[in-house]
Amino acid sequence: MRSHGVPNWPDPQPGATNIKFPGAAQLKVGSSQLAAAENSCDHLLPAGSDDQFPAAEVPLLLSGMVKFSECLRSHGVTNWPDPTTDAQGRPYFPLSSHGITRSESRSQQMMTKQAECQHLMPAALGGIPVG
């Protein structure tokens, strides 16, 4: 990132998890300058960094997520949707558009069913991305 015009880009910290990258204002660069550097360097990120995945991996993630959806539906959550991608290409389950509230998705009953199907979720996601 620094070699592509973002001189204040921070080094990664050992042991850091669930990292969010700083924005253009924090880095003291213009948005277009940051976007250009990100586009040039995106391929160097490990899968799932900053909730972004290489475009070639998204179909594989979605395939695993579909299996998770099928499992949940077979366990009685008949309105659990198949995954989709958001405007940034990140895979997620559009729960609210299928009548599942955030609190319902985190209920004990739902969490138990999700745990039964968790082994089908791609490990790179690190959880169940819901929206």
- Locate the domains of the chain by residue range: 2-44, 58-125
Between CA 42 and CA 119 the distance in angstroms is 28
Q: Over the stretch 116-126, which tens digit does the pLDDT of each residue have?
A: 998 888 877 76
Q: Please list, in sequence order, all residues whose beta carbon lies within 8 angstroms of the beta carbon of residue 109, skipping any fewer than 6 positions away.
A: none
What mean pLDDT value characterizes the chain? 82
> What is the per-residue pLDDT for 131?
57
CA dihedral (61, 65, 66, 68) positive or negative: positive
98-105: which pairs have CB atoms within 8 A and are 24 or more residues apart? 102/130, 105/130
* Position 14 pLDDT exceeds 60: yes
Instruction: Identify whether the C-beta of residue 126 lies closer than 8 Å to the C-beta of residue 48.
Output: yes
